[in-house]
């Protein structure tokens, strides 16, 4: 995935549709979050630095998380980490799963790069670990995801709006 995240020209948009992602990166931070322990997020600094550099170069990072409410533990943690991403220049929005379903939005968990390249992400169903990615070349599927992106963006809440609405 690393090359794809470096080789776009203007926009990187992510649909996140899972209530949990199981990754070695940040696993200890997630444990600390659940235990109510502080974290310095040192493990996350390289990503935040990349977001800042790309933002300064005029690249846009955007994300819509389609979430179940009440939030899973992982997604509660994700909203906390998203605060740092937003400060670094990424625009992360939240769309309740029920609203997405009502709008007919049913995307892959995927990246859209420069509104032309769709990369579907695959996860192991038993433990939610990332197990690969594939570029989707079918123009109809790419176009459908572009339409869903626009629709989701219009109806999603910013990270801060979403967190405030949950209180």
- The CATH number of whichever domain residue 80 belongs to comes to 3.30.870
Question: pLDDT class for 2, splitting at 50, 70, 90?
Answer: low
Q: pLDDT digit string (tens) for 39-76?
A: 999 999 999 999 999 999 999 999 999 999 999 999 99
The whole-number pLDDT of residue 148 equals 98
User: Domain residues for 116?
Assistant: 2-166
Instruction: Count CB neighbours of 57 within 10 A.
Output: 8
pTM (2 d.p.): 0.94
Q: What is the largest CA-CA distance in the chain?
A: 47
**Rounded distance, CA 63 to CA 92, Å?**
5
SS3 4: helix
**Rounded distance, CA 167 to CA 104, Å?**
27
Give the number of domains in the chain: 1
Look at 2-11, 103-112, 117-126, 148-157 and tell me which has the smallest mean pLDDT: 2-11
SS3 12: strand
| H/E element, 57 | none
Q: pLDDT digit string (tens) for 11-40?
A: 999 999 999 998 888 889 999 999 999 999
């Amino acid at each position: 995935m690393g090359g794809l995240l470096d080789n776009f020209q203007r926009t990187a948009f992510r649909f996140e549709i899972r209530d949990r992602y199981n990754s070695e990166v940040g696993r200890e931070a997630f444990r600390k979050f659940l235990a109510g322990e502080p974290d310095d997020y040192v493990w996350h600094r390289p990503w935040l630095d990349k977001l800042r550099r790309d933002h300064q170069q005029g690249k846009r990072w955007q994300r819509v998380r389609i979430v179940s409410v009440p939030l899973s533990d992982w997604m509660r943690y994700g909203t906390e980490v998203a605060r740092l991403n937003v400060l670094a220049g990424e625009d992360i929005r939240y769309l309740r799963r029920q609203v997405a379903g009502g709008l007919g939005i049913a995307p892959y968990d995927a990246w859209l790069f420069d509104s032309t390249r769709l990369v579907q992400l695959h996860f192991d169903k038993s433990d939610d670990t990332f197990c690969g990615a594939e570029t989707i070349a079918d123009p109809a599927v790419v176009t459908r995801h572009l339409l869903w992106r626009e629709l989701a963006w219009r109806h999603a809440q910013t990270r801060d709006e979403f967190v405030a609405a949950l209180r």
